[in-house]
Structure 1
Amino acid sequence: MQTSTVQKIREQFAPMAIFKDPSSTNSLFAGRNLPSFVKDFILKRYISADGSVNRQGLTDFLDKVIPERQTEVKDRLDAGEELTLLTRFIIYIDLVKGLRRFGIPDLGIKINEGQIPQYVYKNHRGELVDGEKWGIIKITVLPDEDGKKNHVEMVDYKPFKPYKSVDIDYLRNARASFSIQEWIDVLLSAMEYEADGFESTTQKMEFLTRLLIFVEPRLNVIELAPKGTGKSFVFGNLSKYGWLVSGGKVTRAKLFYDKAKQQNGIIKNHDFTAFDEIQTIIFQEPAEIQAALKSYLESGKTTIDNNEFSSECGLMIMGNIPLNEQRRPLSYRYFDSLPQSFRESALLDRFHCFIEGWHLPRINKGIIYKGWTINVEYFSEILHTLRTQNIYGLLFDALVGYDKNADTRDFNAVKRIAVGYMKLLFPHWTSVSDINKDDFDTYCLQPAIRRRGIIKEQCHYIDPEFKTSMPYFWIKEESNISPTASNNMGVEENQLF
């Protein structure tokens, strides 16, 4: 990345900037497998203005809140110790017994073993709710009221949220200082990748398209790529709001709603759910899962055992695809690389976007970023906050014309993809007058049409009844844009922010 761009990062994002040195960081965190957003949270506490790290202070903190040997936690609790841990934990509210339970899967503490007392909950009302959380918790073993059994009690809790709120106006003002090419490089560096390691803007954009499900609700994406292109890292390390499914068995109860436990599944509690190595995942009762997915992918709702389930979670399916010597798919039928249970046109047509992962470089040491960039925790909060900013959808409606006979799925797909690109690449656009139409067409509208078009074409190969032609979309002339559109959106913007 160019020196001038790095300098802009340090100027515009000074409180959120961090110096990344992978070789040093990997050594500091050796033996502790932590996602990037946790590492950056810790590094920010011990990094100086010149980028140097207080190694001893950081190591002491790690030793205190993240045991080097996870197997020792239960033994220490059993010995009567009170432990303070920075960890991922899961909450389940037992309405029948009037208990808030928690489990720490990574440490072997089951959800029926942990309890959150009322005083801790009252101090953090609205935060200790069903689902996965990250935080610094203090736990100890206490006897139950009847004295017959013990339980693990959470005696204190500090939310893992260094940025309690994100100022979108701050982001917009900062973004306006960068050119589009500079901003693309900034986004890549925030993902911990070196922009100079990509051969072209096409490669960079293919890579950044993975972030669309971070910013746009209920966007459903398929990516087929060769191994080693960083799929697992992006979806497992950059945000605490997502869930990565890597192999194993998947049930309808795990995804949507568990009737026996009366507990929502992972789709309910996350911004996105990504299925990595889809060919290795075993979907139990595939017919039931497929029926639930069809309904959910279409409307964000489905019915599970007479319970209506709804969510804004996007779904990402990632799989490997065999390539020839020119790194292009061996077959023009891309979806043949998916498991048999997913090769149904009616299901696949409900996905909006396709990522051609064969354009991406294999991850190597030279592509890992070293230098100043936006820290991952702030970056993930920005992406999460952008999900609910509706100004970009209004801008799309004001700016884009389309065939009135356009298929509803095609229109919705193109709009969601284009709006996602606007949030990601041009968050400083808040009125029609702000928009560079050439940039909008190049980076938002045309990629959206093309990525939805690939889905349609591949569905046609499965079922010839599916048409391959996309509806016609165009950018309206100035005379056709409502003169009040920009003003009305300005009012909306002021009301929202």
Structure 2
Amino acid sequence: MENQGLSDAISLDRKLNDVFGGRVVRKDLTKLIKEGANVPVYVLEYLLGMYAATDDEESIDEGVKRVKKILSENFVRPDEAEKIKSRIREVGQYSIIDKITVKLNSKKDYYEAEFSNLGLKGVPISSNYIKEYDKLLAGGIWCMLKMDYYYDEEQRDMNPFSISNLKPIQMPNMDVNEIFEGRKQFTKEEWIDVLIRSTGMEPTQIDDRVKWHLLLRLVPLVENNYNMCELGPRGTGKSHVYKEISPNSVLVSGGQTTVANLFYNMSSRQVGLVGMWDTVAFDEVAGIKFKDKDGIQIMKDFMASGSFSRGKEEKTASASMVFVGNINQSVDSLIKTSHLFAPFPEEMANDSAFFDRMHYYLPGWEIPKMRPDFFTDKYGFIVDYMAEYFREMRKRSFGDSFDRFFKLGNNLNQRDVIGVRKTVSGLVKLLYPNDEYTKKDIEEILQYALEGRRRVKEQLKKIGGMEFYDVMFSYIQKDTLEEEYVSVPEQGGGKLIPEGLGKPGHVYTVGYGESDMIGVFKLENQVVSGSGKFEKSGVGSNRDVKESLDTAFRYFTSNSKSISGTISIKTKDYLMHATDLQGIGLTNQLAIAELIGLCSGAMEKPVQESLVVLGNMTVGGTISKVENLANVLQVCVDSGAKRVLIPAASVADLQTVPSDLLIKVTPMFYSDPIDAVFKALGVG
């Protein structure tokens, strides 16, 4: 089987070299030279594509030596700029490698070049180069240049440096039809492997689902205004693509940033990073801080509409926003105790409107940590060629590509639909740039797109409650009208309220905690021989919580004979431990639940399966109704409850509960505390 995989890889290498000759490079060569030269990957690979794009070992060795020689002799290091300038003057002509940006000097009516590492400005450059390589005007490109030096006494204002020959060592322009035609020669699986190898990874070492995640990391590079976040463990290569693979993306390392830097500088009247780059990626989201108060608000506006207001004018930009960061605890415990956006800084972490603008949440915990065998030594596209293909695809949109076959279910609101369409569009641009695919191909992409947006919505539901209740994402086949639902893998299993009967004395309740969030609480009661004492643990110093529990015990001792003759008070001690399962601070609405727990422990009879008890009572046994019943029931369902015990006083509030939420639980109503005990234990 391994030999089969090897021969497949060799034949794919051959096919790539045949179809895209000169556009591909063997990826281990890049790594080999990159370690010794501080030059961007896309420059290196262009040189390798020129001198080592072959599968003949001898020619490759020769090519690699040549590339190393060129870099050591001609690449301008910023700290050696003066030495190189001197060499150009002394020799009269010298070849260099540097990044050149060109501007038109309209006063003198000629073009001027600026050198990134050499530090020269105002060097005249022939307009022929501009016509041929228009990218010189848009952000600049790395070039191999022959530089001349001639100083004229009579024309002192003329720059003595001039360019006698210029050859780009980045793609100066590209014909996207080459990609469209070439794509036809590859199967879907082969093309996915080609794209993944082009980023330096080895697809045969990773499973199919992880391949899709690696492809999604590329979507912000092909799709305008795409907002994506990826949180996961360290060492999974979250920021690699945005730092090394594309010359069109910028990585903003954690820490403070400003509105001027990111969006618009009012004093210099210059658009910030979002206007200059295709993708702005934030590394380590926990550290994002805006010096300006309105920073997050402007970011929200931009993420929603691709525009932002500064001063009197509104600016538009097409940059995609990517947020990457680390999750330091297990995903299971995050889902149970908080939400998956928790690593974001505090001012963002509880802002549902900010996260609602995310089009996709990539589950970084599913991507394995990078090992040496994950890096490829096979052929892939020269990254600069791939970056140009990506940039060219930003001008197109395939967001409507599933409309022929499917329509989206009614749980998706407008923001959900936009997120799903953008993800579909981006993945179609990557996988089927020539717009040729089958219904099955597009269904696969649609399911993946729905899952990532649903992951966002599931977290919004935890942060913002009923406003984000609709998470049952689905799509409908247009020909058969069959509806397919899409779930999120991490939501399954591991519920706070387990299935099956619990132990006698154990009871769950849902209510408002000290932090005013709704949470799940577990009360564990144990009955041992003793003299009628009631001991509590896990309740901290909150007087209201203790009062609520004491109310339950007083009612229990006064009314035990009405509940069961088998209950003994004076010869037993009652031990109770309370657990705040979601870390939001214990609720003080515990009296009914604790009364049921005491009776369950004393009678050695467990409460009904997957039951949650709602409501509270006074010492005299007066029942209070449940505040905000719809939100409380939503938390019950999310936690795994199948039955919910509700005070009769709350019956009228049922009309505020969405019908598709009600059908997920069996509501049971009680009129007084003793009725609650009987119904919870399923007796009487």
Same fold? TM cut 0.5: yes
Report the Cα distance in structure 1 between the residues aligned to 2:336 and 2:96, rounded to whole angstroms.
49
**Any residues of structure 2 matched to 1:180-195 within 5 Å, and which?**
180-195=188-203
Q: CA deviation at 1:91?
A: 6.5
Q: 1:142·1:150 contact (CA, 8 Å) conserved in 2?
A: no
1:367 aligned onto 2:381: no
> Would you say how many aligned residue pairs link Structure 1 and Structure 2?
464
Question: Cα gap change, 1:330/1:21 in structure 2, threshold over 3 Å: closer, same or farther?
Answer: farther
Q: 2:123·2:159 contact (CA, 8 Å) conserved in 1?
A: no
| Counterpart residue type for residue 229 of structure 1 | T
1:264 aligned onto 2:265: no
Question: Cα gap change, 1:84/1:349 in structure 2, threshold over 3 Å: closer, same or farther?
Answer: farther
Report the Cα distance in structure 1 between the residues aligned to 2:423 and 2:204, rounded to whole angstroms.
26
Question: Cα gap change, 1:145/1:349 in structure 2, threshold over 3 Å: closer, same or farther?
Answer: farther
Report the Cα distance in structure 1 between the residues aligned to 2:271 and 2:155, rounded to whole angstroms.
31
Q: CA deviation at 1:354?
A: 0.8
**Any residues of structure 2 matched to 1:24-39 within 5 Å, and which?**
25-39=30-44
**Any residues of structure 2 matched to 1:56-455 within 5 Å, and which?**
56-67=65-76, 69-77=77-85, 81=89, 84-88=95-99, 107=117, 109=119, 114-117=121-124, 119-120=125-126, 123-124=129-130, 126-129=134-137, 131=139, 133-136=141-144, 155=163, 157-162=166-171, 164-168=173-177, 170-198=178-206, 200-247=207-254, 249-285=256-292, 287-324=293-330, 332-343=338-349, 344-390=351-397, 392-403=398-409, 406-430=412-436, 435-442=437-444, 444-455=445-456
Q: CA deviation at 1:100?
A: 7.7
Question: Cα gap change, 1:162/1:79 in structure 2, threshold over 3 Å: closer, same or farther?
Answer: closer
Range moving further from structure 2, 333-342 or 421-430: 421-430
Q: Between Structure 1 and Structure 2, whose CA radius of gyration is higher?
A: 2
| Counterpart residue type for residue 191 of structure 2 | W
Q: CA deviation at 1:248?
A: 5.1
- Structure 2: unaligned runs, 5 residues or longer: 483-684
Q: CA deviation at 1:153?
A: 6.4
Range moving further from structure 2, 83-92 or 377-386: 83-92
Sequence identity (%): 24
Q: Deviations over 1:154-195 (max 9, x none)?
A: 746544443622333x43444344333333222211111111
Report the Cα distance in structure 2 between the residues aligned to 1:333 and 1:144, rounded to whole angstroms.
70
Q: CA deviation at 1:475?
A: 3.5
Name 1:46's counterpart in structure 2: 51
Q: 2:94·2:147 contact (CA, 8 Å) conserved in 1?
A: yes
Q: CA deviation at 1:108?
A: 8.2
TM-score using structure 2 length: 0.60
Q: CA deviation at 1:454?
A: 1.2
Q: CA deviation at 1:327?
A: 11
Q: 2:220·2:227 contact (CA, 8 Å) conserved in 1?
A: yes
Name 2:640's counterpart in structure 1: none
| Counterpart residue type for residue 137 of structure 2 | V
Range moving further from structure 2, 237-246 or 402-411: 402-411
Question: Cα gap change, 1:315/1:148 in structure 2, threshold over 3 Å: closer, same or farther?
Answer: farther
Q: CA deviation at 1:4?
A: 2.5
Question: Cα gap change, 1:406/1:193 in structure 2, threshold over 3 Å: closer, same or farther?
Answer: closer
RMSD (Å), alpha carbons: 3.7
| Counterpart residue type for residue 75 of structure 2 | I
- Structure 1: unaligned runs, 5 residues or longer: 481-497
Question: Cα gap change, 1:341/1:127 in structure 2, threshold over 3 Å: closer, same or farther?
Answer: same
Range moving further from structure 2, 142-151 or 25-34: 142-151
Q: CA deviation at 1:352?
A: 0.6
Which secondary structure does the structure 2 equivalent of 1:338 belong to?
coil
Q: 2:223·2:394 contact (CA, 8 Å) conserved in 1?
A: yes
Range moving further from structure 2, 360-369 or 467-476: 467-476
Report the Cα distance in structure 1 between the residues aligned to 2:327 and 2:265, rounded to whole angstroms.
33
Q: CA deviation at 1:139?
A: 6.6
| Counterpart residue type for residue 72 of structure 1 | E
Question: Cα gap change, 1:80/1:33 in structure 2, threshold over 3 Å: closer, same or farther?
Answer: closer
From 476, 500, 518, the equivalent of 1:474 is 476
Report the Cα distance in structure 1 between the residues aligned to 2:127 and 2:409, rounded to whole angstroms.
53
Report the Cα distance in structure 2 between the residues aligned to 1:108 and 1:80, rounded to whole angstroms.
11
Q: 1:18·1:44 contact (CA, 8 Å) conserved in 2?
A: yes
| Counterpart residue type for residue 224 of structure 2 | P
Name 1:11's counterpart in structure 2: 15
Report the Cα distance in structure 2 between the residues aligned to 1:43 and 1:261, rounded to whole angstroms.
40
Q: CA deviation at 1:428?
A: 4.0
Report the Cα distance in structure 1 between the residues aligned to 2:36 and 2:277, rounded to whole angstroms.
28
| Counterpart residue type for residue 361 of structure 2 | F
Report the Cα distance in structure 1 between the residues aligned to 2:455 and 2:428, rounded to whole angstroms.
21
| Counterpart residue type for residue 185 of structure 1 | D
Q: CA deviation at 1:355?
A: 0.6
Report the Cα distance in structure 2 between the residues aligned to 1:291 and 1:233, rounded to whole angstroms.
28
Q: Deviations over 1:271-318 (max 9, x none)?
A: 211111233444321x33212212211111111222321112111111
Which secondary structure does the structure 1 equivalent of 2:390 belong to?
helix
Q: CA deviation at 1:329?
A: 7.2
Q: 2:27·2:198 contact (CA, 8 Å) conserved in 1?
A: no
Question: Cα gap change, 1:252/1:138 in structure 2, threshold over 3 Å: closer, same or farther?
Answer: farther
Which secondary structure does the structure 1 equivalent of 2:122 belong to?
strand
| Counterpart residue type for residue 452 of structure 1 | R
| Counterpart residue type for residue 437 of structure 1 | K
Q: 1:242·1:273 contact (CA, 8 Å) conserved in 2?
A: yes
